[in-house]
């Protein structure tokens, strides 16, 4: 999936009001490598579970998520930081901050945006 398509999927996640199975299936199609086995589409509930959303965060990424509220409204927030290996060790590349209706939605969208940035870097390096 192209960086633009991953960012469009992140936009979709950010607009959700709660968990959405159709979006979860799209995320799985975009982010989970095929195994060669027939798929019955028992997708993880990325949009409804922090644990499932964490599976989208890669080995060279750090993440944090939480919930904000002002007494009347709540929202979720998340940040995913991309790192790269250099001769001086791991170095911070960029970060992706997202606010959404729930922490799971925010983490899912932030992870998708971080993947898009990595995909863009990889395509520019070629």
pLDDT in tens, the chain (126 residues): 899 999 999 999 999 999 999 999 999 989 988 777 776 667 789 999 999 999 999 887 878 888 887 777 778 999 898 877 777 777 777 888 999 999 999 999 999 999 998 888 766 655
CA distance 116 to 89: 23
Distance CA 117, CA 6 (A): 9
In this structure, what is the dihedral angle of CA atoms 41, 64, 74, 113, given to the nearest 10 degrees?
A: -60
Confirm if 111 and 44 have CB atoms less than 8 A apart: no
Q: What does the pLDDT read at residue 15?
A: 96
**Residue 87, domain extent:** 3-125
Q: What's the number of domains the chain is made of?
A: 1
């Amino acid at each position: 999936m192209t960086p633009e398509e991953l960012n469009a999927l992140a936009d979709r996640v950010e607009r959700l009001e709660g968990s959405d199975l159709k979006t979860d299936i799209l995320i799985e199609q975009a982010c989970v490598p095929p195994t060669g086995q027939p798929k019955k589409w028992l997708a993880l509930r990325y949009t409804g579970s922090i644990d499932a959303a964490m599976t989208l965060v890669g080995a060279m990424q750090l993440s944090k998520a939480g919930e904000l509220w002002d007494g009347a409204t709540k929202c979720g927030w998340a940040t995913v930081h991309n790192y790269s290996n250099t001769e001086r060790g791991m170095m911070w590349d960029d970060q992706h901050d997202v606010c959404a209706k729930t922490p799971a939605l925010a983490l899912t969208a932030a992870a998708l945006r971080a993947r898009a940035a990595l995909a863009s870097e990889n395509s520019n390096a070629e």
